[in-house]
A and B are shown apart, each in its own frame.
Chain A
Amino acid sequence: MPGIPQEGCSQDLSPSFPACQCLIGRLNLTAFLTWPGKVFILPFDYGRVFYEVRLNRRCRSTGEGLMKKEPLFWVTVSCGLLILAFILLPLVEMVTAPSAAILKETIQDKEVLHSIWLSLYTAGAAALISVLVGTPFAYLLARAEFPGKNLVEAVIDIPIIIPHPVVGIALLSIAGRHYWLGRVFNALGIRIMGSVTGIIMVLTFVGLPFYLNAAREGFAAVSPRLEAVSRSLGASPGRTFFHVTLPLAWRSILIGIVMCSARAISEFGAVVIIAYHPMIAPVLIYERFESMGLKYSQPVAVWLICLCLVLFLLLRVLTLHRKRSV
């Protein structure tokens, strides 16, 4: 119980100590966010709170050996706080800057609604394609060993490291009139440049590695013995996949879908090359920023980040569940 001196503790901690310190810590944090001038004082206050609260928990085990007031401790805590501030400060400011009225007005703007819907729709389509075509491939990667497997796994990670506009240029290279595939598309009446099809193609390209890696990990985590038993009981490999492997890997597949979607929704550089119009949300934000400035692009950004946060929360819930069930 926090505050009660435990065996091995050299400090006598009163029960109210941590609560007070936590409160002070929270006040400091709020000040930190609203009055940037105080930024140089507060990490140390918060660090002290962190230390006291943690010390209570640590004392339950073998004493405070870990968490003494050593230079390394202060360096690690300060770096951590700096990073958290770096991430949170811009986002919190951006979210709190526009007034509620402007936010309401923005979400009712038809252009904004259309672009957010397009973002969702194209990312969803990209995720669906990744699932349909990627799942069998991920299963193969999880189970089979073959010469050149390392190379194949490296190849599926390539889309992650290619600069985004380069992705757009590369896909255009096969979609145009000068390439056989482009001519096939043309003949079939499929338009890539400046169309939703092109956007979906790009988003699938950048989202696939995320789905493939997650699904592969999920399948690899299913013991091959379970599949062996299933086969001995009369199930073909296909039926084993549906009755045993897939039900046990569904959480990883869902994580893969969420990561693929998140990546797809945030894509900008590749999409502007292939299709500036119709405008997905990131492109709309860019255009509004260029033509009307920060004030008019911020509200759209806020709505987009809310959407992304929903996906992010879903991901966290799923990953925590997976960690617990493993």
Chain B
Amino acid sequence: MISIRKLAVRLGQFRLTDISLEIRENEFFVLMGPTGAGKSVLLEALAGLVPTASGSIRLDEREISGLPPEKRGVSIVYQDYALFPHLSVSQNIRYGLRFQRPARGDAAVRIRGLVDVLALGSLLERFPGTLSGGEQQRVALARALAVDPAVLLLDEPLAALDPRFREDLRQHLKTLHRTTRTTFFMVTHDFAEAIALADRAAVMNHGSLEQVGSIKEIFQQPASPFVADFVGMKNLYAARFSGTAAIIDNLSLELGHPSSSPEGYVAIRPEDIVLSREPLASSIRNSLKGTVKAVRPLGFHYEIEILVKQVPFKALITKQALFDLQLHEGSETIVSFKATAVHQLPGVPANIPVGR
């Protein structure tokens, strides 16, 4: 439905190069990446607020890259809400209606629906300055959707909110996406948000796309070391491959299948590592003896850093498991993980230091 082909943008020191992306109708698509990756630039290019150097953007087969923002049918919601301070909530929501040609008769019904879903009924006569962050963001959403756009662009909409309001607004976004026929395109640097909301996603770094696919794919099969790191695969190592083994320094891991290239990276999720006092009698192919280097509390879980022949592994276990195993700095433990938990990634090992 949105088809971006070889888009290039130059904006100050931001460069977007060769962006090609397909977004399907009614999809909730999330673009992720670290700060400065150029995600917001891509968003604004879609909205028409930033000029493109080359490439094309098509919306429903219609070329929109030359059109001004008011003619694209694309609404945008910013991180700082950007409500019109001189208009009431009700006037803010209705703002776009007077510019719609031809005037749409179903607007009243649609607005009433939005006000109900977003629980704005009691706020209609208030002014933006008197509202909380969460309330303002809901008004911004209602305003953007009141004009029934083909696409709704969201630029880190939850980033400025208190954490306790984020969950609330996330639910609202989910509901809105279900009840309207608008395609949602959201930009975020928070991977957890993406997991909660996205159908499909893309990861961006330094102005180009690293991976595009379903959230599950990106999470479980990252295509590059950067993506692996971004989605929380904390055990990332440069490795040589030989037969079905991956060799990290003088440590050998079982991959379970022969590798297609002689060198690259391997990554293991901390959650996939099992710790025990004795080696496990199981189908697990990788069982290594190591020494605990550090125990770090992380809310409800603990992150244990273990050194196996000087290679650091990070495992995630529960508080109960920590007590049961009586792990502390210096204690010996067995580190186990299945061969299928070892993800192989392409790349040139010279670029990245060993062990993370």
Binding site for B on A (CB under 8 A): 223, 225-226, 228-236, 239, 243-244, 247-248
Interface centre among A230, A231, A243 (most CB of B within 10 A): A231
Q: Which residues of chain B come closer than 8 Å to A235, judged between CB atoms?
A: 70, 96, 99
CA distance A232 to B43 in the complex (A): 12
Q: A233 touching B75 by the CB < 8 A rule?
A: yes
Q: How far is the CB of B259 from chain A (nearest CB, A)?
A: 48
* With A225-B82, A244-B84, A248-B86: A232-B74 Cβ-Cβ less than 8 Å: yes
Cα distance A258–B282 in the bound complex, in angstroms: 86
Q: A233-B75, A248-B86 are in contact. Are A228 and B99 (CB under 8 A)?
A: no
- Check if B66 is an interface residue, CB within 8 A of chain A: no
Contact indicator A232/B84 (Cβ below 8 Å) = no
- Complex Cα spacing A229 to B80, Å: 12
Q: Does B68 lie at the interface of the complex (its beta carbon under 8 Å from any beta carbon of A)?
A: yes
Q: Is B69 interfacial (CB 8 A cutoff)?
A: yes
User: Known contacts A232-B74, A232-B144; can you find 8 more A-B pairs with CB under 8 A?
Assistant: A229-B82, A230-B84, A232-B49, A233-B96, A235-B96, A236-B68, A236-B70, A244-B84
- Do A232 and B95 have beta carbons less than 8 Å apart? no
18 of the cross-chain contacts (CB-CB < 8 Å) are A223-B82, A226-B82, A226-B84, A228-B69, A229-B82, A231-B49, A231-B68, A231-B70, A232-B48, A232-B72, A232-B74, A232-B75, A232-B76, A233-B96, A234-B70, A235-B96, A243-B95, A248-B85
Say which residue of B48, B95, B100 sits within 8 Å of A230 (CB atoms). Answer: B95
Given contacts A225-B78, A248-B85, contact A232 B69 (CB under 8 A): yes
Which residues 11-63 of B sit at the A interface, judged by CB distance below 8 A?
44, 47-49
Q: Are A233 and B78 in contact (CB under 8 A)?
A: no
Q: Are A232 and B47 in contact (CB under 8 A)?
A: yes
Across-interface contacts of B82 in A (CB, < 8 A): 223, 225-226, 228-229
CB-based contact A228/B143 at 8 Å: no
Residues of B within 8 A of A226 (CB): 82, 84
| List of B residues within 8 angstroms of A247 by Cβ | 86
A145 to chain B, nearest CB (A): 11
State whether B76 touches A228 (Cβ < 8 A).
Answer: yes
The residues of B that contact A223 with a CB separation of less than 8 Å are 82
Report chain A residues within 8 Å CB of B78: 225, 229
Cα-based distance from A225 to B69 in the complex (angstroms): 13
The answer to whether B99 and A233 touch across the interface, beta carbons within 8 angstroms, is yes
Question: B99 touching A229 by the CB < 8 A rule?
Answer: no
Inter-subunit contact B96/A234 (CB<8 Å): yes
The 10 tightest CB contacts between A and B, nearest first, are A233-B96, A234-B99, A231-B69, A225-B82, A232-B76, A229-B82, A247-B86, A234-B70, A235-B99, A231-B70
Does B275 have its Cβ within 8 Å of any Cβ on chain A? no
Measured CB to CB, the closest approach of chain A to B110, in angstroms, equals 14
What's the least CB distance linking B99 to chain A, in Å?
A: 3
Name the distance in Å between B59's Cβ and chain A's nearest Cβ.
Answer: 14
Which residues of A sit under 8 angstroms from B143, Cβ to Cβ?
229, 233
Find out whether the CB atom of B86 lies under 8 angstroms from the CB atom of A234: no
Tell me whether B49 and A233 are in contact (CB under 8 A): no
| Given the contacts A233-B75, A236-B70, A244-B84, A228 and B49 also touching, CB distance less than 8 Å | yes
Q: Which of B80, B84, B147 contacts A234 (CB 8 A)?
A: B147
Give A107 to B334 CA distance when docked, in angstroms: 103
A228 to B45, CA, bound (A): 12
Least distance between A190 CB and chain B CB atoms (Å):
41
With a cutoff of 8 Å between Cβ atoms, the chain A residues found around residue B86 in the complex are 247-248
Residue in A225, A232, A243 whose beta carbon sits within 8 Å of that of B80 in the complex: A225
8 A Cβ contacts from B317-336 to A: none
- Cα of A226 to Cα of B78 in the assembled complex, Å: 10
Closest to A244 in B: B84
Which one of B47, B49, B75, B147 has the greatest number of beta carbons of chain A within 10 Å? Answer: B49
Q: Can you name the residue of chain A whose Cβ is closest to the Cβ of B72?
A: A232
CA distance A242 to B76 in the complex (A): 21
User: A239, B76: Cβ atoms under 8 Å?
Assistant: no
A248 to B70, CA, bound (A): 21
CA of A235 to CA of B69, assembled, Å: 9
> Hey, which chain B residues are within 8 Å of A231, CB to CB?
48-49, 68-70
Q: Which residues of A contact B74 (CB under 8 A)?
A: 232
In whole Å, how far is A170's beta carbon from the nearest beta carbon of chain B?
Answer: 41
Pick the contact of B76 from A229, A234, A243 — CB < 8 Å? A229
Whose C-beta in chain A lies nearest to the C-beta of B74? A232
Which residues of A lie under 8 Å from residue B75 when comparing CB positions? 232-233
Q: CA–CA, A50 to B83, complex, Å?
A: 45
**In the complex, residue of chain B having the shortest beta-carbon distance to the beta carbon of A247:** B86
Contacts of A236 in B (CB 8 A): 68, 70, 99
Nearest CB in chain A to that of B76: its residue: A232
Determine the distance from Cα of A247 to Cα of B91 in the docked complex, in whole angstroms: 14
Q: How far is the CA of A283 from the CA of B82 in the complex (A)?
A: 51
Closest to B101 in A: A234
Cα of A229 to Cα of B141 in the assembled complex, Å = 12
- Shortest beta-carbon distance from A242 to chain B in Å: 12
Nearest residue, chain A, Cβ from B47: A232
Instruction: Pick from A228, A235, A248 the residue with the most CB of B within 10 Å.
Output: A228
Distance (whole angstroms) from the CB of A225 to the closest CB of chain B? 4
Shortest distance between the CB of A243 and any CB in chain B (Å): 8
Complex CA gap A230/B44 in Å reads 14
| B68 / chain A contacts, CB cutoff of 8 Å | 231, 236
Residues 98-132 of B, flagged 1 when their CB comes within 8 A of A and 0 if not, give: 01100000000000000000000000000000000
The distance in angstroms between the C-alpha atoms of A229 and B48, with both chains bound, is: 11
A297 to B310 CA separation, bound complex (whole angstroms): 97
Name the distance in Å between A234's Cβ and chain B's nearest Cβ.
3
Bound Cα distance from A234 to B100, whole angstroms? 7
List, in ascending order, chain B residues with CB within 8 A of A248's CB: 84-86
Taking CB atoms, residues of chain B closer than 8 Å to A239 are 99
Q: Could you tell me the distance in whole angstroms from the C-beta of A318 to the nearest C-beta in chain B?
A: 16
B79 closest partner in A (C-beta)? A225
Residue from A223, A232, A243, A247 whose CB has the most chain B CB atoms within 10 Å: A232
Please, which residue of chain B has its CB at the minimum distance from the CB of A225? B82
Chain B residues with Cβ below 8 Å from A233 are 70, 75, 95-96, 99, 143-144, 147
Which residues of B sit under 8 angstroms from A244, Cβ to Cβ? 84
How far, in whole Å, are A232 and B143 apart by their CA atoms in the complex?
11
A252, chain B: closest CB distance, angstroms: 14
